[in-house]
Structure 1
């Protein structure tokens, strides 16, 4: 019921958004057209045309935006379902997102209920299902499917059912980027288990699983780059494709450097806001320190368990390493959704209802800014 109620509210928001888009000059806007905007179009291209064997180039010889930036599993599943729906890929894509979002909510509930009480876990699911990015559950994006695999994988790790991870890791890896963060999680998890082996026995069988799964996650994490290189004949095809999305912001900066994206963006955004660029570096450093302190010391977060905290730390570090923060940063933070458990722990009803209200307000803001008004590369959802 929580998920259905949240989807009903999002549907109303999308209906209002479509009507507003019509009035602002985007004639014929519908829920379907809003739900298939931006990356939804790219997944549609993958589903119907596949991946280019020859990388598209601009006049200066740089690789331009193309389908290699998008993993294949989501469009393949949606394409398969579309055959049952009269070839209607957009409908199939949204159905896949809706179903995967529901399963993700169930998995999140069980993941959190392993550490916190039932009511708090339900409230966490409500905050997640109706939160600022909840429209993605009704869009042609791969987020719902990735979150489903991720929460199931974290649940398997918490329950120490390592066998399931041999299936879930490849499914994650070919749905969206981010499985390398799971490899880091497994490495940190193994270290923590080893340090506490006196009080929490670590059998040799589990050591083998943790090491093997970590290696599997690394191989899967780099496999798409290898596949793109083999198909196109360019070993750097995937990285060049990913960097093409940054070119609108920073031009040709010579290639990928770890952490460089956040450092450059800190200066760019503070310049856009009319603030001194050095303050951007200070703000970035303070944000990193605050995030680390939150995961290490905040009592509500600590109650979520070591697996959730290690995942959040691993994924945050992964983003810092590889991402260039822009408007899509909000969407890329969704894998940190288990932290909703900490937000739901305070028992006062006014707190929980106010957090739900804030989430709904921000959800409308996101739909309005990214889908209704979003027409440039600075408003990418």
Structure 2
């Protein structure tokens, strides 16, 4: 990562406007969350660090794996569903600083979100130019579920690793790309999307002819890329005694799997059976249509193959998951390449007009994020 930042990442000076804009959007979101939570007599910091998945990560960080919750309906929620890199970093942070694990997780997420913003800028600038890179970061920041980027969740950490791995692929740094993909695979199940992007880029480079630095480097990158995800999944299977695919049984205990989107389609269709639930159905349908349109726009604009592979797999896994329908916007958060067509379009108007659009959307995102986290269900 040091080599990537010092030798191949855009200079911090070039990324500074994107990073400052990103920090401003996130600060606005946190301010609105604090005010909204205070009005409801809730702790914004607790919402960010000690609820839902954050509690599971902290428990793994402090006590290791092995905790289960058995529900009355027979479902078993096991902490083995949560990949280990974030808990490892929380434990490390608690060991070398005065912070407890939950606070260390929050610090990791804040730092990782900035690293993710820088990596997203680097990818956007590489593909579509400096202005598009800045706009891409701002669009990622103002997503309706952008508040998750500031939570002690693994989305920011994963997106940072994915973005820099993709940038390394685009710049032909294959060992770095594979190493970062390995780490992404230790962060979330969707790490396989990063490994697939490394493979797609490496295979395409090898097929084109001689590779700068020799063919060994892309081959090594390909070998490294899937090791994180594969290693954890195999370890879970060994620990549970259920074989190489035992991780799927763990996910089944959470009523989570992959059915190609059938369960989600039924869920959306059921919204149309009553009013005002039909409005939610319309929103879900429009949201899915927008995601599909954005991906198709990326294909039409001939975005680099690794970005299309990565974005396509993240999108397919998010929309095709059979559970936790309310979490699908969060699961799509790492799919930042989908925003590239919008970023390119936003980069064309005058700066003042673009700034006005982003500011308005940022305010809406901040309000929605505060409303969302103060709700009853997990994000």
Q: TM-score, normalised by structure 1?
A: 0.80
The question of whether the paired residues in 2 share the 8 Å contact of 1:131 and 1:356 is answered with no
- Residue pair 2:255, 2:323 contacting (<8 A) in 1 also: yes
CA distance 1:187–1:325, change in 2 (3 Å): farther
CA contact (8 A) 2:139 2:358 kept: yes
- For 1:251, the equivalent position in structure 2 comes to none
Shift of 1:39: 0.7
Whether 1:294 aligns to 2:297 is yes
Alignment partner, residue 249 of structure 2: 240
- Aligned partners of 2:288, 2:349: CA distance in 1, in Å? 33
2:46 maps to which residue?
A: 33
Matched with 2:101 is 89
| Secondary structure of residue in 1 paired with 2:103 | helix
Change in Cα spacing, 1:287 to 1:294, as seen in structure 2 (3 Å) is same
List alignment gaps of at least 5 residues for structure 1: 23-28, 248-255
1:274 maps to 2:293: no
Q: Which residue of 2 aligns with 1:372?
A: 374
CA distance in 1, matches of 2:240, 2:102: 28
Shift in CA distance, 152/110, structure 1 to aligned 2, threshold 3 Å: same
The Cα of 1:31 is off from its aligned counterpart by 2.0
Shift of 1:360: 3.6
What corresponds to 1:46 in structure 2? 60
CA distance in structure 2 between the partners assigned to 1:172 and 1:16 by the alignment: 34
For residue 90 of structure 2, give the secondary structure of its aligned residue in structure 1.
helix
Given the two structures, how large is their TM-score scaled by the length of structure 2? 0.80
Q: Equivalents in 2 of 1:8, 1:67: separation in Å?
A: 31
Structure 2 gaps of 5+ residues are 1-19, 275-280
Cα distance between partner residues in 1 of 2:234 and 2:68? 15
User: How far off is 1:57 after superposition?
Assistant: 4.8
Q: 1:234: how far off?
A: 3.1
Structure 2 counterpart of 1:4, from 17, 23, 31: 23
Q: Give, in whole Å, the separation in 2 of the partners of 1:221 and 1:85.
A: 29
CA shift for structure 1 position 46: 0.8
Asked if 1:18 corresponds to 2:37, the answer is: yes
Counterpart selection for 1:227 from 232, 235, 242: 235
Q: Secondary structure at the match of 1:328?
A: helix
* 1:69 maps to which of 78, 81, 92: 81
1:331 CA drift (Å): 0.8
CA distance in 2, matches of 1:270, 1:107: 38
1:261/1:325 contact within 8 Å kept: no
Task: After TM superposition, give the deviation of residue 11 of structure 1 in Å.
Answer: 1.7
Match of 1:357 among 349, 356, 360: 360
Tell me: CA distance 1:352–1:270, structure 2 relative to 1, closer, same or farther (3 Å).
farther
Q: Secondary structure at the match of 2:326?
A: coil
Match of 2:154 in 1: 142
Q: Which stretch has the larger CA shift, 315-324 or 132-141?
A: 315-324
Counting matched residue pairs gives 349
CA contact (8 A) 2:169 2:201 kept: no
- Contact kept in structure 1, 2:184 and 2:191, CA below 8 Å: yes
Name the CA shift for 1:314/1:208 in 2 (closer, same or farther; >3 Å).
Answer: farther
Q: Which stretch shows the higher mean deviation, 69-78 or 13-22?
A: 13-22
How has the CA–CA distance of structure 1 residues 322 and 90 changed in structure 2, closer, same or farther, with 3 Å as cutoff? same
Q: Say if 2:295 and 2:338, in contact at 8 Å, map to a contact too.
A: no
Partner of 1:339: 338
Shift of the 285–141 alpha-carbon distance from structure 1 to 2, 3 Å rule, reads: closer
Q: CA deviation at 1:261?
A: 5.2
Distance in 2, matches of 1:324 and 1:116, equals 36
- State the Cα distance separating 1:206 from its structure 2 match: 5.7
